[in-house]
């Protein structure tokens, strides 16, 4: 009933304004008067609900038509009606006909009623209180304009002047207000409703989105195996280079050259190195030739976007074959290269370095006994930042001179050379390496003495990492010079230096206590509990290694328990330690890693005691 009244009220008011142009208050008074008269008539004549509604509707239409006809007659006397254009853009609508008003329509001065807008379907489908808001706004604007002398035509309630419906929420053609942003729950619900779920398990294993998320839960070694399941998985794994970051593919050149062993080879011709482990990348089959295997291997390396390469057991022919078969995009992308246990000569290494000269930053030469100083003078890439030369028998003092002269951007140098003397250490002070070199690791330089270490300390004062592992001629005097000259040292490795004693630890504790964080003292035979007392005064030391130090006893270990900064401690193979000394380690509540390998006092009961009293995040290695 209320909805029918509102429909009649809005349609009548709109038609009256458009036809008569009368003020709104007059039209409103007429409408209310007609509705009251219709209600009195319907209430007195009918009693049931449905018949009352029908009777009220008819009588209301009649009363409203009679009131509007009177308004139109009064307006026509004051102003002649204007002819309507035949090319109006208003939509064609039905005309409301009232049988009770036929007698009054014979008046020739009465203008023809304009067809009412057929918007009842829109009004019924919309919410009543929302339309009431538009009516109130329209009514307020109309009252403000009634104070003027000239009457203004009120636009249609639910449409624009040209007849097109106005967008919901807009005013005067302005864009509607922005909807508030959806909450996370709403977005999640819409996503779950629109997501296409696989119906069968077979569809799930071929769904690309699921597989890309599924592969992230596996290690690189496992991804190499997953790439061999089917062509779809191989394509997906090879297409995303994020799965192969920080990995180095290793080409086993020796296996590729042995064609007869490929038919019975259970392994692979290509591997990938992750943290010192070799990982499969390509499996050789019996029906493949060596050329096909090489082509597939080089293709897989290129597709996965590797930025490093390692050739194991390579010769000059293998190096030339790799540089000629590989696309230039891969060669320009490689920043790290390694040759291990290879018989590459100076000519092959020169070709290899020339092909990688645009992007190479790291070079490793391990076990290459055919390489001499000549190729280093001629083929080294000036942009190299990291150089590692291990177990090459032809390395000598001239090698150090070539490195210092040809590599001005070098930041890290690691050398294992048996024939390097004190003279070579003087080359570091007269070149550009003095300013850029920060990491120097000298392994098993048996000819290096205290004088060479002194030359090194004066030539490279900016070092923060120094390793003298295996330099058997280095003694406490050399350590004193290092502690005085290299004041920014953070990492010091003195393992396998039998001449280092407690005096060296005193020099280190006095001059490097504010900077040194890592100290390696493995196999130092003359380190005792007195030296442990000096180490305990170092406030920034985080890692301490005392593997196989036979003079370390319980008293020295107890002095280390007062160190609050220590995070990692290794006392593997110390035979003088007892259960009482090891039980004191529970005082080190900041300890994160403890190594007790080959320690005679490390019984099962002691290990359980340490695990119960040390922090839960502490890892105990046996």
- Asked if residue 594 has pLDDT above 70, the reply is yes
Total domain count for the chain? 2
Residues 378 and 519 in one domain: yes
**Higher pLDDT pick, 347 / 106:** 347
Residues 226 and 362 in one domain: no
Residues 498 and 523 in one domain: yes
Structure confidence by residue, pLDDT tens digits, 122-154: 433 344 444 444 444 444 444 444 444 444 444
Structure confidence by residue, pLDDT tens digits, 178-204: 666 678 888 878 777 776 666 677 788
CA angle 272, 277, 280 (to 5 degrees): 35
Residue-level pLDDT at 207: 83
- Asked if residue 306 has pLDDT above 60, the reply is yes
Residue-level pLDDT at 203: 80
Task: Answer yes or no: is 412 within a domain.
Answer: yes
- Asked if residue 312 has pLDDT above 80, the reply is yes
- Asked if residue 507 has pLDDT above 90, the reply is yes
- Asked if residue 172 has pLDDT above 50, the reply is yes
| CATH code of the domain in which 484 resides | 3.80.10.10
Share of the chain above pLDDT 70, in %: 65
Residue 475 is encoded by which pair of tokens?
Answer: 């003694």
Q: What is the average per-residue pLDDT within 170-183? A: 63
- Mean pLDDT, the chain, whole residue set: 76
Structure confidence by residue, pLDDT tens digits, 421-471: 999 998 988 777 788 899 999 999 999 999 999 999 999 999 999 999 999
Domain that holds residue 218: 1-8+205-243
Structure confidence by residue, pLDDT tens digits, 30-52: 565 655 555 555 555 444 444 55
Task: Answer yes or no: is 169 within a domain.
Answer: no
**Higher pLDDT pick, 608 / 162:** 608
Residue-level pLDDT at 288: 64
Share of the chain above pLDDT 90, in %: 43
Residue-level pLDDT at 115: 42
* CA pair distance 457, 436, nearest whole angstrom: 15
Q: What is the average per-residue pLDDT within 79-83? A: 47
Residues 335 and 302 in one domain: yes
Beta strands in 156-226 (DSSP E): none
Residue-level pLDDT at 558: 94
Residues 225 and 315 in one domain: no
* CA pair distance 395, 388, nearest whole angstrom: 12
**Higher pLDDT pick, 217 / 42:** 217
Residue-level pLDDT at 173: 56
Residue-level pLDDT at 597: 94
Task: Answer yes or no: is 471 within a domain.
Answer: yes
Residue-level pLDDT at 10: 55
Q: What is the average per-residue pLDDT within 222-237? A: 88
Residues in the chain: 622
Residue-level pLDDT at 379: 87
Residues 362 and 485 in one domain: yes
Backbone φ and ψ of 485, nearest 5°: -95, -45
Task: Answer yes or no: is 319 within a domain.
Answer: yes
Judge contact between 583 and 606, C-beta under 8 A: yes
Residues 219 and 318 in one domain: no
Residues 447 and 427 in one domain: yes
- Domain end (from 501, 525, 541): 541
Residues 304 and 362 in one domain: yes
Q: What is the average per-residue pLDDT within 554-583? A: 94
Task: Answer yes or no: is 200 within a domain.
Answer: no
Task: Answer yes or no: is 466 within a domain.
Answer: yes
Residues 330 and 477 in one domain: yes
Task: Supply the pTM of this predicted model.
Answer: 0.66
Task: Answer yes or no: is 460 within a domain.
Answer: yes
Task: Answer yes or no: is 520 within a domain.
Answer: yes
Residue 431 is encoded by which pair of tokens?
Answer: 């070149």
Q: What is the average per-residue pLDDT within 342-349? A: 93
Residues 438 and 346 in one domain: yes
Structure confidence by residue, pLDDT tens digits, 369-422: 999 988 888 888 899 999 999 999 888 899 999 999 899 899 999 999 888 999
Residues 6+ apart with CB under 8 A from 476: 499, 500, 501, 503, 504, 507
Judge contact between 577 and 552, C-beta under 8 A: yes
Q: What is the average per-residue pLDDT within 502-514? A: 95
Residues 453 and 518 in one domain: yes
DSSP string, 444-484: S-TT--HHHHHHHHHH-TT-SEEE-TT-TT--HHHHHHHHH
Judge contact between 429 and 456, C-beta under 8 A: no
């Amino acid at each position: 009933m209320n909805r029918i009244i509102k429909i009649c009220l809005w349609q009548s008011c709109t038609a009256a304004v458009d036809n008569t142009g009368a003020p709104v208050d007059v039209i409103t008074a007429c409408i209310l008067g007609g509705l009251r008269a219709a209600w009195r008539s319907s209430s007195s004549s009918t009693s049931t609900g449905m018949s009352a509604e029908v009777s009220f509707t008819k009588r209301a239409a009649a009363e409203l038509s009679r009131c509007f006809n009177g308004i139109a007659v009064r307006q026509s006397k004051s102003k002649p009606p204007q002819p309507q254009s035949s090319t109006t853009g208003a939509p064609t609508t039905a005309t409301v006909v009232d049988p009770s008003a036929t007698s009054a329509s014979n008046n020739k001065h009465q203008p023809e009623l304009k067809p009412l807008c057929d918007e009842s379907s829109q009004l019924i489908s919309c919410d009543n209180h929302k339309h009431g808001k538009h009516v109130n706004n329209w009514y307020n604007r109309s009252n403000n304009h009634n104070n003027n002398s000239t009457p203004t035509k009120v636009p249609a309630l639910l449409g624009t002047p040209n007849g097109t419906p106005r967008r919901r929420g807009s005013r005067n053609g302005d864009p509607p207000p922005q909807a508030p942003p959806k909450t996370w729950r709403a977005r999640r619900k819409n996503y779950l409703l629109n997501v296409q779920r696989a119906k069968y398990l077979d569809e799930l294993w071929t769904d690309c989105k699921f597989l890309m998320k599924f592969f992230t839960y596996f290690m690189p070694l496992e991804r190499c195996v997953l790439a061999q399941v089917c062509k779809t998985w191989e394509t997906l794994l090879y297409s995303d280079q994020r799965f192969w970051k920080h990995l180095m593919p290793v080409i086993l050149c020796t296996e590729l050259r042995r064609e007869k062993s490929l038919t019975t080879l259970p392994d692979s011709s290509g591997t990938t190195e992750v943290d010192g482990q070799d990982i499969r990348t390509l499996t050789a089959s019996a029906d493949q030739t060596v050329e096909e295997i090489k082509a597939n291997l080089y293709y897989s390396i290129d597709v996965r976007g590797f930025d490093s390469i390692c050739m194991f057991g390579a010769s000059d022919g293998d190096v030339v074959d790799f540089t000629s078969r590989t696309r230039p995009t891969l060669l320009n992308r490689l920043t790290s290269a390694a040759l291990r246990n290879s018989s590459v000569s100076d000519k092959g290494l020169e070709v290899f370095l020339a092909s990688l000269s645009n992007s190479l930053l790291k070079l490793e030469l391990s076990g290459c006994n055919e390489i001499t100083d000549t190729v280093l003078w001629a083929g080294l890439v000036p942009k190299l930042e990291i150089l590692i030369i291990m177990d090459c028998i032809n390395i000598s003092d001239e090698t150090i001179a070539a490195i210092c002269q040809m590599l001005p951007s070098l930041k890290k140098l690691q050398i294992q050379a048996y024939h390097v003397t004190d003279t070579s250490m003087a080359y570091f002070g007269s070149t550009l390496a003095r300013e850029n070199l920060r990491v120097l690791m000298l392994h098993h330089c048996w000819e290096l003495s205290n004088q060479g270490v002194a030359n090194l300390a004066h030539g490279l004062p900016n070092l923060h990492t120094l390793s003298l592992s295996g330099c058997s001629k280095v003694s406490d005097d050399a350590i004193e010079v290092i502690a005085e000259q290299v004041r920014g040292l953070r990492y010091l490795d003195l393992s396998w230096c039998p001449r280092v004693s407690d005096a060296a630890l005193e020099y280190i504790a006095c001059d490097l206590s504010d900077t040194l964080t890592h100290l390696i003292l493995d196999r130092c035979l003359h380190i005792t509990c007195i030296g442990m007392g000096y180490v305990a005064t170092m406030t920034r030391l985080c890692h301490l290694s005392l593997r196989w130090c036979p003079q370390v006893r319980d008293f020295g270990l107890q002095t280390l328990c007062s160190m609050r900064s220590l995070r990692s401690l290794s006392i593997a193979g110390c035979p003088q330690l007892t259960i009482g000394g090891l039980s004191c380690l529970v005082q080190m509540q900041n300890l994160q890693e403890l190594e007790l390998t080959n320690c005679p006092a490390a019984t099962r009961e002691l290990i359980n005691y340490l695990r119960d009293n040390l922090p839960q995040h502490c890892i105990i290695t046996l």
